[in-house]
């Protein structure tokens, strides 16, 4: 998101899946200059203590979790189709879709975007 905003935002990314991040996903993130820092939040209570302004979810499973656990933040869900078999091509298509979604979100909700 910081690529689309003039000012810096404090951004967290978390998943509800306990599987390791797919190596293809890591490769694509690195191509975008995103080097994930795997700061592990130890408990759901710790995560819920963070005063999020916005929560964006990318799948139906994540949305169910977010709706149940986070009551005060503004929540936005876009149910991206996550490919069953990950290939660089279909994950790259997903990455492009997510970038377009984030750019639209920044234009609509974050005044700093130009």
Give the pLDDT confidence of 47-102 residue by residue, as tens digits.
Answer: 788 888 888 887 777 788 888 888 877 888 887 777 677 788 888 888 888 888 88
Q: Over 60: is that where the pLDDT of 7 sits? A: no
C-alpha span between 19 and 40 (Å, rounded)? 14
22 and 91 in contact (C-beta within 8 Å)?
A: yes
pTM of the predicted model as reported, rounded to 2 decimal places = 0.69
Question: Measured in whole angstroms, how far is the alpha carbon of residue 1 from the centre of its chain?
Answer: 9
* pLDDT value at residue 5: 57
| CA distances from residue 46 to 35, 51, 57, 84 in whole angstroms, order as listed | 23, 11, 19, 31
97 and 83 in contact (C-beta within 8 Å)?
A: no
* pLDDT value at residue 12: 72
């Amino acid at each position: 998101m910081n690529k689309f905003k003039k000012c810096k935002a404090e951004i967290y990314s978390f998943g509800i899946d306990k599987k390791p991040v797919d190596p293809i996903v890591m490769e694509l993130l690195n191509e975008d200059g995103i080097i994930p820092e795997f700061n592990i939040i130890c408990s759901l209570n710790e995560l819920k203590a963070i005063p999020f302004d916005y929560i964006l979810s990318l799948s139906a499973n994540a949305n169910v979790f977010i709706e149940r656990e986070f009551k005060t933040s503004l929540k936005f869900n876009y149910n991206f189709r996550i490919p069953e078999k990950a290939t660089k091509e279909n994950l790259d298509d997903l990455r492009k879709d997510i970038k377009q979604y984030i750019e639209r979100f920044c234009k609509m909700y974050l005044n700093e975007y130009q």
